């Protein structure tokens, strides 16, 4: 994660705001007025399978839980391609066959397969399923929920409550206190 390239708040590309929010919220806790606490960052980024001990473990668990819910939605959806009703197992079979035609082989558990496979499935969810609105609503709801979870992870529940879960206000105030932000967030001018 690279903090200096995440300040995408001064752009019309609003899709970058969430990315910036997440990266800053994850890394802000390691900033001090004069330095970066690399020791704490290194300790918190240790991954222990099945654990919830480190920051990374907790972030990964949030991600896995959200993706499991999305996967279940995809597997339960009904699709219509060319006016023909089709279910997820058939979509999966068609995609595997398409990958096989293109590449000559398919390793269904490989990263190289999974990324384009799920990208295609999500494309079909949004274009050819009875669940487009459900998926869109899921993404909006989860975005808000995940940012709140990462805010709590970053500053603690009491501080998040003090900020009424307004993560941008927390980020702005914290960066100002660290003397990283040149603008006074309390100045209305």
Burial class (CB in 10 A: 0-12, 13-18, 19+), 185: middle
Range of the domain at 18: 1-65+147-189
Of 143, 144, 153, 147, the C-alpha closest to 30 is 153
Query: Per DSSP, what are the bridge partners of residue 132?
Result: none
Of 153, 174, 170, the C-alpha closest to 162 is 170
Structure tokens of 98?
Answer: 């398409």
Residue 95 CB neighbour total at 10 angstroms = 19
Residue 91 lies in a domain: no
Q: Which residue has the tokens 């994660």?
A: 1
Share of the chain above pLDDT 70, in %: 90
Q: pTM of whole model > 0.75? A: yes
Q: Which residue has the tokens 């949004």?
A: 126
The pLDDT value given to residue 20? 86
Q: In total, how many domains does the chain have?
A: 1
pLDDT band per the 50, 70, 90 thresholds, residue 182: low
How confident is the model over 98-120, as pLDDT tens digits? Answer: 999 988 888 999 998 999 999 99
Q: Looking only at Cα atoms, what is the longest distance across the chain?
A: 63
Helices (H), the chain: 15-27, 38-44, 55-76, 88-103, 111-128, 132-155, 157-162, 167-177
C-beta of residue 33 within 8 angstroms of C-beta of residue 180? no
How confident is the model over 29-66, as pLDDT tens digits? Answer: 999 888 889 999 998 888 888 777 888 888 888 889 99
Residue 171 lies in a domain: yes
pLDDT band per the 50, 70, 90 thresholds, residue 87: very high
CA Rg value for the chain = 21
CA distance linking residue 46 with residue 172, whole number of Å: 28
């Amino acid at each position: 994660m690279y903090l200096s390239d995440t300040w995408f708040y001064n752009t019309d590309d609003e899709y970058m705001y969430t990315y910036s929010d997440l990266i800053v919220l994850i890394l802000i806790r390691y900033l001090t007025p004069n330095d970066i606490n690399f020791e704490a960052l290194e300790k918190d980024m240790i991954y222990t399978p099945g654990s919830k001990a480190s920051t990374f473990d907790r972030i990964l668990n949030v991600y896995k839980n959200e993706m499991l819910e999305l996967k279940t939605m995809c597997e339960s959806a009904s699709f219509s391609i060319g006016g023909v009703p089709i279910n997820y197992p058939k979509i999966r079979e068609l995609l595997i066959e398409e990958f096989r035609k293109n590449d000559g082989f398919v390793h269904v558990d490989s990263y190289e397969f999974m990324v384009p496979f799920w990208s295609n499935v999500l494309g079909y969810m949004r274009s050819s399923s009875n669940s487009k609105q459900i998926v869109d609503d899921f993404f909006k709801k989860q975005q808000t929920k995940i940012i709140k979870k990462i805010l709590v992870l970053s500053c603690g529940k009491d501080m998040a409550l003090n900020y009424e879960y307004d993560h941008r206000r927390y980020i702005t105030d914290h960066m100002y206190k660290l003397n990283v932000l040149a603008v006074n967030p309390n100045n209305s001018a």
